[in-house]
């Protein structure tokens, strides 16, 4: 008979058993379930609701079950529906009556709310440490390429000169926000729903502060209905993970472009690229493509839970059992993407000559040329037009700005002098962009040191 079978005259149909069960996927919550039950039992004992002997039997019984699950000795059943009832049934089979007292002053609704919250809380640090490793990789790559000039783009058109370090540190800034977003989520979610009961708390003299403290929460959730129906933390996590994946996906897109023959700014390490079954020459950026592809999956996970939650009246509804698979999937996906992505970046070969060659074409020093005239007294708008005319001259003759002779330059403005060639050199154009946050070496050094300090603050 079912744990809840008291008022039923018939056995559950097998189709319903399978349909209703969540054990296939919620068994991964076994550790949280047992830890939560141990804290609950101890509190029941402290508050005089069950006897010390029962607490002792329950705690030992649960410890034995935990050990058996971890050594693969336990088979869960769909008959027992979910991890909570599977564990309780195992416990009662092992210790008898005391096992039946464990569920006093508790419901599966606050139990699942607790287990799931603890699981999410434990996974956030795993993702954070993977993100910190990625930041470390970016800083060390950036340190090597502060003078590696490349074209910066807008509209995927060559725009102005930057360094490869500046480009990498842009991503480091994004991942830094991802880290603080997840930290915020972890801090906000740290309230314990245990003791909310089914929805309306309990008449037993329980101590919710005691279980909250024992389980490492800042305190109990303040409203019993909200405590069992809140899945905001899961949604916040998946929102944070979606934004993180969006960053990884944009970066992946650039990796894919950069290792194409059209760009050839980088070459992926053989260990992080794949071949083609038919084209012997191919070396494909599958890792980056998969990260880009899996981003859609994580967005889907977020949308799935948002949609499950949107029409639910308070408090618990069985719809909420659908919360687990998307969250597990989003976490698994991110935890799989981050290490392989970081290693791919760490091992890729940067091709500075190709970056510099690309930077030499496309008039990416045109703004600097206009700035040159402006600094000699011409209003910027006039300088802009003058340089536009020069670009047209160059484009006609297949030349770059710095290849024009002084007399050609002077046809457009008498303000041009010998020093224009130095002003137009890529080294000057990149190196003089010293404004705060710019690509000059002094500024990329500051950015790298900032991020290194950020990492250090979190790893000591």
**Interface ranges with ligand ARG (CB under 6 A):** 22, 26, 82, 108-109, 112, 316, 318, 320-321
Tell the smallest beta-carbon distance from residue 66 to ligand ARG (Å): 19
Residue 305 vs 320, nearer CB to ligand ARG: 320
Q: What are the Cα distances from residue 121, in Å, to 49, 65, 126, 182, 269?
A: 29, 23, 10, 10, 35
Tell the smallest beta-carbon distance from residue 107 to ligand ARG (Å): 7
Q: Three-class SS of residue 402?
A: helix
Q: What are the Cα distances from residue 156, in Å, to 153, 161, 253, 254, 303?
A: 5, 13, 12, 10, 30
Residue 330 vs 401, nearer CB to ligand ARG: 330
DSSP string for 5-44 = GGG-SSPPPHHHHHHH--HHHHGGGHHHHHHHHHHHHHHH
CB-based contacts of 149-152 (< 8 A; 24+ apart in sequence): 149/352, 149/355, 149/356, 149/359, 149/426, 149/427, 149/430, 150/265, 150/355, 150/356, 150/358, 150/359, 151/355, 151/358, 151/359, 151/362, 151/364, 152/364, 152/439
CA distance 171 to 175: 6
Residue 179 vs 320, nearer CB to ligand ARG: 320
| Catalytic status, residue 229 | no
| Catalytic status, residue 155 | yes
Catalytically annotated residue among 260, 276, 361, 442? 276
Q: What are the Cα distances from residue 118, in Å, to 194, 215, 305, 330?
A: 11, 9, 18, 16
Tell the smallest beta-carbon distance from residue 3 to ligand ARG (Å): 11
Paired strand residues for 425: none
Catalytically annotated residue among 71, 155, 222, 435? 155
Residue 37 vs 295, nearer CB to ligand ARG: 37
Tell the smallest beta-carbon distance from residue 327 to ligand ARG (Å): 11
Alpha helix positions (H), 102-216: 108-144, 164-188, 208-214
Token code pair at residue 433: 């962009």
Residue 82 vs 135, nearer CB to ligand ARG: 82
Residue 123 vs 321, nearer CB to ligand ARG: 321
Length of the chain: 460
Tell the smallest beta-carbon distance from residue 25 to ligand ARG (Å): 9
Tell the smallest beta-carbon distance from residue 84 to ligand ARG (Å): 6
Q: Where are the beta strands (DSSP E) in 278-364?
A: 349-350
Catalytic residues: 155, 276
């Amino acid at each position: 008979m079912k744990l809840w079978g008291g008022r039923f005259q018939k056995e559950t149909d097998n189709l319903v058993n399978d349909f209703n069960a969540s054990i296939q996927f919620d068994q991964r919550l076994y550790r949280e379930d047992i830890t939560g039950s141990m804290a609950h039992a101890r509190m029941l004992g402290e508050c005089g609701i069950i006897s010390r002997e029962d607490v002792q039997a329950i705690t030992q019984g649960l410890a034995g079950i935990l050990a058996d699950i971890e050594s693969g000795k336990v088979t869960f059943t769909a008959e027992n529906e979910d991890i909570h009832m599977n564990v309780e049934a195992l416990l009662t089979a092992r210790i008898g009556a005391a096992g039946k007292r464990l569920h006093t002053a508790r419901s599966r609704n606050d139990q699942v709310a607790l287990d799931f919250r603890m699981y999410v809380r434990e996974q956030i640090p795993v993702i954070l440490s993977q993100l910190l490793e990625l930041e470390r990789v970016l800083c060390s790559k950036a340190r090597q390429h502060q003078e590696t000039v490349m074209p910066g783009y807008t509209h995927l058109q060559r725009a102005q000169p930057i360094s490869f370090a500046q480009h990498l540190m842009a991503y480091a800034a994004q991942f830094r926000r991802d880290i603080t977003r997840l930290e915020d989520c972890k801090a906000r979610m740290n309230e314990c729903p245990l003791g909310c009961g089914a929805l309306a708390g309990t008449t037993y003299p329980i101590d919710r502060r005691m279980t909250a403290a024992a389980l490492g929460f800042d305190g109990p959730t303040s409203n019993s209905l909200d405590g069992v129906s809140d899945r905001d933390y899961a949604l916040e996590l998946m929102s944070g993970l979606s934004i993180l994946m969006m960053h990884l996906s944009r970066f992946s897109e650039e990796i894919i472009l950069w290792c194409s023959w059209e760009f050839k700014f980088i070459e992926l390490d053989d260990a992080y690229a794949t071949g083609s079954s038919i084209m012997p020459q191919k070396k494909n950026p599958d890792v980056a493509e998969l990260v880009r592809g899996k981003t859609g999956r994580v967005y889907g996970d977020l949308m799935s839970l948002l949609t499950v939650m949107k029409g639910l009246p308070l408090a618990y509804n069985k719809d909420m059992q659908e919360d687990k698979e998307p969250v597990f999937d989003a976490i698994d996906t991110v935890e799989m993407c981050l290490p392989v992505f970081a290693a791919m970046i760490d091992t890729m070969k940067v091709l500075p000559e190709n970056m510099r060659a690309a930077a030499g074409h496309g008039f990416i020093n045109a703004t600097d040329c206009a700035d040159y005239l402006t600094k000699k007294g011409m209003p910027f708008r006039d300088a802009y037009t003058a340089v536009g005319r020069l670009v047209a001259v160059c484009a006609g003759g297949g030349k770059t700005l710095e290849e024009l002779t002084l007399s050609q330059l002077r046809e457009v403005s008498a303000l041009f002098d010998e020093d224009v060639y130095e002003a137009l050199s890529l080294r000057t154009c990149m190196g003089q962009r010293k404004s705060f946050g710019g690509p000059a070496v002094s500024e990329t050094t500051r950015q790298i040191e900032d991020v290194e300090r950020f990492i250090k603050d979190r790893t000591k």
